[in-house]
Amino acid sequence: MNRSQLFEQIKKKKSYLCVGLDTDLQKIPKHLLSAADPVFEFNKQIIDATHKYTVAYKPNIAFYEALGPKGWESLQKTLEYIPKDIFTIADAKRGDIGNTSSLYARAFFEQMNFDSITVAPYMGEDSVKPFLDFKNKWVILLAHTSNPGSSDFQLFESNGRKLYEEVIRKSQQWSTPDQLMYVVGATQAEKMQSIRALAPDHFFLVPGIGAQGGDLEMVSKFGMNDHCGLLVNSARAIIYASAEKDFSKRASEEAAKVQQSMEIYLHAFT
């Protein structure tokens, strides 16, 4: 999916919601555990309930890897079930030496056909470039994340720049806003305006809304550009809105609430 197609979906649905499919067998409703594939059955019902309100789905790969071969099967079935006009994100945080990155890219882009993958930039340009060799596929580079430990390294300052600022500045030499996004945590909303100034045209994937306490209005106010430029992720607050048989109905209601707010912010801030 290219940038214009993604923006068309945002305008069509009046939404920039990304639903995180962080599917945990310990948290899904108990009645699903008797299904042949409980993870896929849960995902299927969540997708059915939320696809009207979302422009992206983001499976967190660790939740599937932890289940071994069965988990990979559940992930592939989930990907095949997601409507083709919805952007898909492999939240895999890969990043290794060049030839290894090339194989990761082939796995997620050719074998599984994700639209994008999250990538850790710590090993530098040659570890990221292989992911950028695929047409209409995206790299979503970790920049300033929402976890408490983000300050351990990301705020390290040298020559007047923080490390996350240098990541954003340097990586723009590797690709364009048509193929490169950045992860910017919602709990960093107070920094969103300065981060947007560093990358005025790029999309940001913004985790941390909902259960992690991020402020959607502030993220939208300071993070939007003239083509929206945001994919705001919510996982637990939507997919685990209920642990009972009404879980999909509740997920739909929660997704609809977020979309309704997003429609207001799209009108106000673009």
Burial class (CB in 10 A: 0-12, 13-18, 19+), 93: middle
* Nearest to 21, CA basis, from 216, 200, 233, 265: 233
Element (H, E) at 99: helix 98-105
Query: What distances in angstroms separate CA 259 from CA 10, 253, 262, one per listed residue?
Result: 10, 10, 5
Annotation marks residue 93 as catalytic: yes
Contact 203, 9 (CB under 8 A): no
Q: Please report, as a single letter, which amino acid is at residue 29.
A: P
Choice among 93, 129, 162, 257 that is catalytic: 93
Other C-beta atoms closer than 10 Å to the C-beta of 102 total 15
Under DSSP, the state recorded for 216 is H
- What whole-number distance in Å separates Cα of residue 140 and Cα of residue 223? 16
Query: What distances in angstroms separate CA 88 from CA 59, 79, 139, 149, one per listed residue?
Result: 8, 8, 12, 27
Secondary structure class of 111 (helix, strand, coil) = helix
- What whole-number distance in Å separates Cα of residue 84 and Cα of residue 118? 20
Active-site amino acid positions:
93
